[in-house]
Amino acid sequence: PKATYERRKAVHRLSSDEGTRLARVARVWGLAVDVWQNEEEARDFLFRPHPMIEDKRPIDVVIMSEFGAEMVVDILAGLKYGSAA
């Protein structure tokens, strides 16, 4: 949320949990851009519900847990290397 962002920006520090989530998002974002070769298409993938994760948005699954991030990474790897995703 914007209020959390503003608060963290003011103190120039993220909590450990926020830093971990941010690192997960950055890792998956980088892979999505690599797969799609386009930031807009990567963003569309991350924010559109996906059937392989129970029609949840990949970005939400990534933020929730490391396991969720790995599920999204597996989907992206399948897209990149040719298996059905």
pLDDT 10s digits, 22-43: 999 999 999 999 999 999 999 9
Q: Are 47 and 59 in contact (CB under 8 A)?
A: yes
Give the dihedral of Cα atoms 13, 16, 22, 28; nearest 10 deg: 160
pTM more than 0.85? no
pLDDT in tens, 58-69: 999 999 999 999
Q: In this structure, which long-range contacts are made by residues 37-46, counting pairs with CB atoms below 8 Å and at least 24 apart in sequence?
A: 45/76, 46/72
